[in-house]
């Protein structure tokens, strides 16, 4: 369903060679056994997007942008906007594609700004983004000079969004998205220079197993960039919601930053640093024309926005970095 030949060629010439041998079979199994019922429709919508020749691509700005060589006719822009909106909801961004601004639910650029001065330079590195959504942080990693960026996310709508973006941003860029989960990465691969896990940990029933999986993706001395929900508290404080958290069913463990730091050390990481902790605001996560479903404002207690609608502490997020041994 997707052409991974260029990626496989790059992987064969890198520490990822062991994975490249299994990748075609993994993708075949994904689309034969786990294909979403709307996937063929989404791919057709991507194919139906208008052809527009690009002049300039910007991956190192808050808004990932591509501009045309010549101003497209108004009808072409309307077709482009309508086609991209068929891939609703857009969770991560922002993007501007030939003048069409995709105002996504999340201002993902705010998160990137918080971490970009705190992580190891990405130039020349092999990067893995776990749970990457439509790939916003993958594109930003490429804009920072990464040699090869692989995003993994099993949500096939996000793959369709990524393919639409790549059609305009450029197929030659070393950025790829695979509709796979971290369990599909070969065990003990120990190959990536940098691994991102952004907004994934609290969805895992076993957070320590997730940290161990992330560690096993990294080469010795590689860097983990971890972003997740946290609560205020000392070492040992963890929130385990008895039901939903901010209307989400699949939230399991929300530790304090100090507890999370201890988890990372227990899992074999060193040089653990808490580089940012902040409360998520309704300016950073909100409903838009590109994501019309409920968003953060609907998840908070209307009479006390310091609490979720269930009475838990409102979302706070931390970014931590750590090195593998």
Which string of DSSP letters, residue by residue, matches 261-308? Answer: HHHHHHTT-EEEEEEEEEE--TTTB--BTTB-S--HHHHEETTEEEEE
pLDDT of residue 175: 97
What does pLDDT average to over the chain?
A: 96
What confidence score (pLDDT) does residue 97 get?
Answer: 98
Report how far residue 97's alpha carbon sits from residue 58's, in angstroms, rounded to the nearest whole number.
11
How would residue 63 be classed by pLDDT, with cut points 50, 70 and 90?
very high
Question: Does residue 146 carry a pLDDT above 70?
Answer: yes
Is the pLDDT at 123 greater than 70? The verdict is yes
pLDDT digits (tens, 9 = 90+) for 147-171: 999 999 999 999 999 999 999 999 8
38 Rama sector, left if φ>0, alpha if ψ -120 to 50, beta otherwise: alpha
What would the pLDDT profile of 128-145 be if each residue is shown by its tens digit?
999 999 999 999 999 999
Residue 34: the pLDDT is: 77
Cα gap 42→57, rounded to integer Å? 24
For the chain, what is the domain count?
1
Q: What's the pLDDT at 295?
A: 98
* Cβ atoms < 10 Å from Cβ of 111: 23
Q: Tell me how far apart the alpha carbons of residues 38 and 200 are, in angstroms, rounded to a whole number.
A: 24
* Residue 4: predicted pLDDT: 83
Query: How confident is the model at residue 32, as a pLDDT?
Result: 87
Cis peptide, bond prior to residue 94, ω within 30 of zero: yes
pLDDT tens digits for 270-302? 999 999 999 999 999 999 999 999 999 999 999
- pLDDT over 80 (residue 198): yes
pLDDT value at residue 321 = 98
Percent of the chain with pLDDT over 70: 100
Residue 3: band (very low, low, confident or very high) from pLDDT cuts 50, 70, 90: confident
Calpha distance 258→236 (Å, rounded): 8
CA distance 33 to 181: 14
Residue 115, φ and ψ in degrees, nearest 5: -105, -20
Instruction: Answer yes or no: is pLDDT of 1 > 70.
Output: no
Q: Which of 294, 283, 315, 308 is nearest to 106 (CA)?
A: 283
Q: What is the pTM of this model?
A: 0.97
Position 119 scores a pLDDT of 98
In angstroms, the CA 54 to CA 49 distance is: 14
Domain boundaries, position 237: 5-323
CATH label of the domain that carries residue 214? 3.40.50.150
pLDDT, tens digit, 9 for 90 and up, residues 220-250? 999 999 999 999 999 999 999 999 999 999 9
**pLDDT-based confidence at residue 33 (cuts at 50, 70, 90):** confident
Q: Residues 115-150, buried b or exposed e (16+ Cβ, 10 A)? A: beeebeebeebbbbbbbbbbbbbbbbbbbbebebbb
């Amino acid at each position: 369903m997707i052409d991974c030949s260029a990626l496989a060629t790059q992987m064969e010439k890198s520490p990822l060679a062991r994975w490249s041998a299994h990748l075609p079979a993994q993708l075949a199994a994904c689309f034969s056994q786990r294909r979403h019922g709307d996937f063929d429709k989404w791919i057709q919508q991507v194919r139906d997007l208008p052809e527009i020749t690009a002049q300039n691509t910007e991956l190192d700005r808050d808004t990932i942008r591509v501009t045309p060589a010549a101003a497209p006719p108004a009808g072409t822009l309307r077709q482009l906007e309508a086609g991209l909106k068929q891939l609703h909801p857009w969770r991560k961004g922002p993007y501007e594609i030939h003048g069409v601004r995709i105002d996504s639910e999340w201002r993902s650029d705010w998160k990137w700004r918080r971490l970009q001065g705190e992580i190891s330079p990405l130039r020349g590195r092999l990067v893995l983004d776990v749970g990457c959504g439509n790939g916003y942080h993958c594109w930003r990693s490429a804009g920072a000079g990464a040699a090869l960026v692989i995003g993994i996310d099993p949500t096939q709508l996000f793959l369709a969004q990524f393919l639409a973006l790549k059609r305009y941003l450029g197929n030659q860029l070393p950025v790829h998205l695979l509709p796979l989960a971290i369990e599909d990465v070969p065990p003990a691969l120990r190959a990536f220079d940098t691994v991102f896990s952004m907004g994934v940990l609290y969805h895992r029933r076993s957070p320590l197993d997730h940290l161990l999986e992330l560690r096993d993706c990294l080469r010795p001395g590689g860097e983990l960039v971890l972003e997740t929900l946290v609560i205020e508290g000392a070492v040992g404080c963890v929130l385990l919601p008895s039901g939903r958290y901010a209307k989400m069913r699949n939230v399991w463990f929300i530790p304090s930053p100090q507890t999370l730091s201890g988890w990372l050390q227990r899992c074999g990481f060193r040089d653990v640093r808490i580089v940012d902790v902040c409360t998520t605001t309704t300016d950073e996560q909100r409903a838009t024309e590109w994501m019309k479903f409920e968003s953060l404002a609907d998840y908070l207690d209307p009479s006390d926005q310091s609490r979720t609608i269930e009475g838990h502490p409102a979302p706070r997020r931390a970014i931590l970095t750590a090195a593998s041994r």
